[in-house]
């Protein structure tokens, strides 16, 4: 029997992933199972600069009290979710559609169902079907509900409406009998066709990856009370996997085991290992091995994620790259960042309730990220499978850019020919912009800081905002001299000299003016990351000028040296010692002769940990250098993720100042519009344009060309 629109065979099955996450609408910290979209819950966006978003679509972390499609309680949920007899009869949210595929059934008209029986059954795999209205005629493609918001909306409304849920067909079960009522409700009387979308609710049998002979969905027509009738059977062969089978996961460990009082601190374990390999490529057999093996993309997450969130960000990246047409290999690195609970829907001063007890958490995580960067460079440099792929790309998010940048910096010191990556995509990077572009000073941080006191905070007002020097002195204990601010180790390379038997950095005055003057006359290559072009061919900087998380990053620079929590982080030098002695003399009523100090042209930096232990700077990153950068030396410039530094800078248009939008590309739904633009999809499309040079929303359709289960005319 012919199958003109179904190209699947046991050796070339349809491959997709099991829908085993939980894509839901969360509003003000509560999952809204009855809602598929945020609707009017969020306020108006306006220009985005004050947008306080309280509702978002995302993957809810799996816990014992949270359901997923693969749990038995998901199918029968009364008592767990009020108003639902079975969650599997609903599409949870617009986002959930990213885990669905289109499917077409055809049953010849005129079959007498009093004489014949038609069964839909599954073998070796379980799927769940909903009514659909997709259109694949002309320039349309069946999966347009992924990238066309109007089709997203109409698809969910149809699927969650009357007769929207068709059936869950369980592997090895009785299947579903196609009755006349079903034909009337689902099949077009003119064409005999019915359109569906489906999700896999269980993986295919393990042996189906190599041969799907025993993993399929079938329509079977038999004649009632006639054992001699040769049954007519149509099959679609399916190889469904946990999405983890399609990507590689390497890990530097997890700090979550140290969970105490709703938080945990970052830890450095000193090595990277493989958590699981990629078992196969989702396009295996459909495109050439040469095409598949030409690209590998590694994703690196940022700060304050629990293990389940790290997985969600990685898997969302894989899925959205798939829907954008990526056909290469994908991998992710998880690393042991710290975490504390700070709900995304909380704004204003209320955030301080969650942040105040955990102020050192960020800097500890940054120190770990820097050290893991060294581990990553060494690991990848010794990984022959990784190096065998010619076009290697890395995507880093937020603090993940500290890790990746340190990895690239370390790679340049290994003396290895060639680059580690072809493309480095820096997204919302929480690292000093000036560290990448040493001769730019226009991106200097301007802090809003209003705690004015006498001469400390009055100078250097620029547009009613404070320059780094003035703001730093406002916030920190000051001594009112040009040597009290730690030197800018991000934008200049200082000389190490022997001082009192210890190698210390020598530097001049650290005021903004003197620092900028020193930077302007410094030779090219003086910034901290200036040599990254030896480790990567191109850097693409995705930035958002109003990113509120990175605004907080800027405030964190004011708190350095870190004065909160355990450990006294101190910066000092001879000039500071002289000033302290002078002030002490002036305050001593018995002293008569207190001559103002005459400061030297240069001083020797001393970085102190735990009030007593001196940290020694090394240009090749080590534990001491990592701590100096993370806990003591403030950045003077905007973070990379808020500035158009680097030639490959792409502004994240329609991204706002909401808490959620620092990670907008991983949240929401692919087709979501702002200002008539699919701003989330645009990120992934631009990413592929900059890495592999192309993206295509038609890739899915052109490769699979529709799936049709057909029963021929009788």
Judged against a pLDDT cut of 60, whether residue 285 lies above it is answered with yes
* pLDDT confidence tier of residue 708, bands split at 50, 70 and 90: very low
Ramachandran angles phi, psi of 686, nearest 5°: -65, -40
The 3-state DSSP class for residue 251 equals strand
Q: Give the pLDDT score at 231.
A: 92
- Which of 423, 372, 443, 382 is CA-nearest to residue 402? 372
Judged on CB neighbours under 10 Å (0-12, 13-18, 19+), 636 is: buried
Judged against a pLDDT cut of 90, whether residue 294 lies above it is answered with yes
Q: Give the pLDDT score at 576.
A: 93
List pLDDT tens digits, range 507-533: 999 998 899 888 888 888 889 999 999
Q: Give the pLDDT score at 406.
A: 98
List pLDDT tens digits, range 404-453: 999 999 999 999 999 999 999 999 999 999 999 755 555 677 776 544 44
Q: What is the DSSP code string of 515-567?
A: HHHHHHHSPTT-STTTTGGGTEEEEEEEE-TT-HHHHHHHHHHHTTTT-SSSS
d(CA 605, CA 56): 47
Q: Give the pLDDT score at 713.
A: 43
List pLDDT tens digits, range 617-662: 999 999 999 999 999 999 999 999 998 888 889 999 999 999 999 9
Q: What are the percentages of helix, strand and coil residues in the chain, rounded to 5?
A: 30, 25, 50
Proportion of the chain above pLDDT 70, given as a percent: 89
Q: Give the pLDDT score at 85.
A: 58
Judged against a pLDDT cut of 90, whether residue 593 lies above it is answered with no
List pLDDT tens digits, range 83-117: 555 678 889 899 999 999 999 999 988 889 999 99
Please give the C-alpha separations between residue 57 and each of 33, 95, 341, 519, in angstroms, as whole numbers. 11, 6, 19, 45
d(CA 122, CA 175): 7
Contact present, 665 and 684 (Cβ < 8 Å): yes
Judged against a pLDDT cut of 60, whether residue 460 lies above it is answered with no
Find the angle CA(476)-CA(477)-CA(479) to the nearest 5 degrees. Answer: 120
Average per-residue pLDDT for the chain: 88
- Give the H/E segment covering residue 201: strand 193-202
Segment 168-197 shows an average pLDDT of: 93
Residue 177 Ramachandran class (φ > 0 left, ψ -120 to 50 alpha, else beta): beta
Q: What is the DSSP code string of 482-522?
A: TT-SPP-TTT-PPEEEEETTEEEEEE---SHHHHHHHHHHS
* pLDDT confidence tier of residue 376, bands split at 50, 70 and 90: very high
List pLDDT tens digits, range 664-695: 999 999 999 999 999 999 999 999 999 988 77
Q: Give the pLDDT score at 647.
A: 81
Which is it for the CA torsion 132, 136, 140, 146, positive or negative? positive
The 3-state DSSP class for residue 333 equals strand
List pLDDT tens digits, range 214-240: 999 999 999 999 989 999 999 999 999
List pLDDT tens digits, range 545-554: 999 999 889 8
- Which of 404, 468, 449, 409 is CA-nearest to residue 431? 404
* pLDDT confidence tier of residue 504, bands split at 50, 70 and 90: very high
Judged against a pLDDT cut of 70, whether residue 322 lies above it is answered with yes
Judged against a pLDDT cut of 90, whether residue 207 lies above it is answered with no
């Amino acid at each position: 029997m012919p199958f003109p629109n179904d190209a699947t065979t046991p050796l070339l099955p349809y491959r997709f992933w099991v829908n085993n996450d939980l894509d839901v609408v969360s509003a003000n910290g509560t999952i809204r199972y009855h809602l598929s979209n945020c609707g009017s819950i969020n306020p108006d966006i306006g220009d985005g600069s004050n947008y306080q978003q309280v509702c978002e679509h995302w993957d809810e972390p799996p816990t014992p009290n949270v359901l997923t499609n693969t749990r038995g309680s998901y199918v029968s949920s009364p008592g767990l979710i009020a108003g639902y007899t079975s969650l599997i009869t609903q599409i949870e949210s617009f986002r959930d559609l990213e885990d669905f595929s289109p499917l077409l059934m055809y049953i010849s008209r005129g079959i007498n169902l009093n004489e014949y029986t038609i069964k839909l059954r599954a073998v070796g795999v379980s799927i769940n079907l909903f009514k659909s209205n997709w259109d694949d005629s002309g320039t349309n493609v069946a999966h347009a509900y992924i990238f066309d918001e109007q089709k997203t909306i109409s698809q969910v409304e149809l699927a969650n409406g009357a007769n929207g849920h068709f059936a869950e067909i369980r592997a090895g079960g009785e299947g579903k009998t196609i009755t006349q009522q079903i034909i009337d409700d689902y099949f077009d009387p003119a064409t005999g066709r019915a359109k569906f979308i489906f999700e896999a609710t269980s993986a295919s049998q393990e042996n189906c990856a190599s041969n799907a002979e025993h993993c399929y969905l079938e329509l079977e027509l038999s004649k009632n009370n006639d054992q001699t009738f040769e049954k007519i059977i149509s099959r679609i062969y399916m190889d469904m996997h946990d999405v983890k089978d399609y990507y590689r996961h390497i890990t530097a460990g997890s700090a979550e085991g140290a969970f105490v009082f709703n938080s945990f601190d970052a830890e450095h374990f000193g090595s990277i290992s493989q958590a699981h390999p990629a078992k196969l490529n989702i396009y295996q057999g459909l495109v050439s091995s040469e095409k598949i093996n030409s690209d590998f993309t590694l994703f690196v997450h940022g700060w304050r994620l629990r293990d389940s969130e790290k997985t969600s960000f990685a898997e969302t990246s894989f899925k959205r790259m798939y829907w954008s047409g990526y056909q290469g290999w994908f991998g992710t690195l998880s690393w042991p960042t710290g975490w504390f609970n700070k709900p995304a829907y909380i704004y204003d001063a209320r955030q301080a309730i969650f942040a105040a007890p955990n102020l050192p958490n960020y800097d500890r995580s940054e120190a770990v990220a820097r050290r893991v960067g060294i581990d990553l460079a060494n690991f990848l440099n010794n990984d022959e499978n990784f190096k065998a792929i010619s076009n290697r790309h890395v995507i880093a998010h937020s603090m993940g850019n500290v890790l990746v940048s340190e990895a690239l910096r370390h790679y340049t010191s290994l003396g290895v020919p060639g680059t580690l990556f072809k493309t480095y995509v820096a997204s919302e990077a929480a690292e000093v912009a000036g560290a990448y572009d040493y001769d730019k000073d226009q991106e200097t941080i301007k802090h809003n800081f209003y705690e004015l006191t006498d001469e400390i905070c009055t100078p250097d007002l620029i547009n009613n905002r404070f320059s780094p020097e003035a703001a730093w002195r406002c916030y920190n204990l000051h001594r009112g001299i040009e040597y009290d601010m730690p030197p800018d180790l991000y934008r200049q390379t200082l000389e190490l000299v022997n001082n009192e038997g210890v190698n210390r950095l020598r530097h001049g005055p650290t005021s903004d003016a003197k620092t900028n003057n020193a930077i302007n006359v410094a030779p090219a290559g003086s910034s901290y990351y200036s040599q990254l072009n030896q480790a990567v061919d191109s850097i693409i900087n995705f930035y958002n000028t109003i990113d509120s998380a990175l605004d907080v990053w800027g405030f964190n620079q004011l708190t350095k040296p870190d004065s909160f929590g355990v450990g006294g982080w101190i910066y000092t030098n001879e000039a500071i010692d002289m000033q302290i002695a002078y002030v002490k003399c002036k305050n001593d009523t018995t002293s008569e002769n207190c001559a103002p100090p005459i400061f030297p042209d240069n001083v020797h930096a001393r970085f102190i940990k735990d009030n007593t232990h001196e940290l020694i700077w090394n240009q090749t990153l080590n534990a001491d250098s990592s701590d100096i950068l993370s806990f003591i030396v403030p950045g003077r410039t905007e973070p990379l993720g808020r500035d158009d530094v680097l030639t490959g800078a792409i502004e994240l248009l329609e991204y706002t100042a909401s808490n959620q939008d620092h990670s907008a590309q991983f949240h929401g739904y692919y087709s979501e519009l702002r200002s008539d633009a699919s701003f989330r999809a645009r990120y992934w499309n631009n990413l592929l344009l900059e890495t592999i040079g192309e993206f295509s929303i038609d890739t899915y359709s052109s490769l699979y060309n529709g799936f049709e289960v057909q029963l021929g005319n009788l």
